[in-house]
Structure 1
Amino acid sequence: MGYHQIHVGDIVDVTITGIQPYGAFALLPDQTSGLIHISEISDRFVRSVGNYVTIGETIKVKVIDIDEKSHQAKLSLKAVAKRRKFRRHRRPIVETPKGFRSLEEMLPRWISRGINKEEDV
């Protein structure tokens, strides 16, 4: 084996080495291979694995299983992508007035807030 022992649950950088209709093959840091099955690419429908990864690309994946006989890892891209979703910035809550007259009164405040936020950037 290589210099870095891989365990189930690890999140590792892998290099995509091949793409098939059923998934993508990857080289792990310990020089073993793994497969990201099409069902582990995304939570959404995956028409083509090549729309998500390219050969030679380095990506982060989660090791979800290791076959002891073949030493091939089963990998998940969507498990790592799910973790990223929680880092989204939430939009501020805006008070919403009722009726057109209230909109007219609130518009200058909303514009002012927007301008001030742009200046902060």
Structure 2
Amino acid sequence: MSIEVGSKLQGKVTGITNFGAFVELPGGSTGLVHISEVADNYVKDINEHLKVGDEVTVKVLNVESDGKIGLSIRKAKDQPKPAQSNSGRSRSNHRSNNDYRPKETFEQKMARFLKDSEDRLSSLKRQTESRRGGRGSKRG
């Protein structure tokens, strides 16, 4: 049986190491599921997720010329598409009404940042100098 990149297959875990798990595929070939491809969240100990003899569904990520097969369990899971909200805008482009700003160039952003920064700095200097009786305070 030819193993093609992108195909989903059933396999059996035959071995576990600290860096991943070996999975026997149909046809007798064996591939590696790297520890980063076991679950969507961080996996500290692969033994908490897999055991030798487990039946798993894997997706073929790559097939090397030397016969090594890269597999993924987390990519084999059917992931729901993110829900479209706010009349078709995706989440990454979504901004709430109170923080909406039109597109700015880098120079405009930098000018705004500098102005805000100078305003904050001058206000801070006024507050601290008046408390200390420094050079900026009015003397009678």
TM-score, normalised to structure 2, is 0.55
Unaligned runs of 5+ in 2: 82-140
4+ residue runs of structure 1 moved beyond 2 angstroms?
Answer: none
- Find the aligned partners of 2:80 and 2:42 in 1 and give their Cα distance: 21
CA deviation after TM superposition for structure 1 residue 57, in Å: 1.1
**Structure 1 Cα separation of the partners of residues 64 and 27 of structure 2:** 15
Q: Is the 8 A contact 1:32 1:72 kept in 2?
A: no
Map 1:83-94; keep pairs closer than 5 Å. Answer: 83=78, 85-86=79-80
Q: CA deviation at 1:86?
A: 2.1
Corresponding residue for 2:13? 16
What is the number of equivalent residue pairs in this alignment?
A: 81
Amino-acid identity (%): 31
The higher-RCO structure (CA 8 Å, 6+ apart) is: 1
Taking only aligned residues, the RMSD between alpha carbons, in angstroms, comes to 1.4
Which protein has the larger Cα radius of gyration, Structure 1 or Structure 2? 2
Corresponding position of 2:2: 5
Look up the match of 2:64: 67
CA distance in 1, matches of 2:42, 2:34: 13
Structure 1 segments unaligned to the other structure (5+ residues): 88-121
Structure 2 CA distance for aligned equivalents of residues 72 and 65 of structure 1: 8
How far has the Cα of 1:65 moved from its partner? 0.3
Deviation track 1:71-114 (CA, whole Å, cap 9, x = no partner) reads 12100001022x1x429xxxxxxxxxxxxxxxxxxxxxxxxxxx
CA distance in 1, matches of 2:61, 2:3: 11
Aligned twin of 1:47: 44
Secondary structure class of the residue paired with 1:59: strand
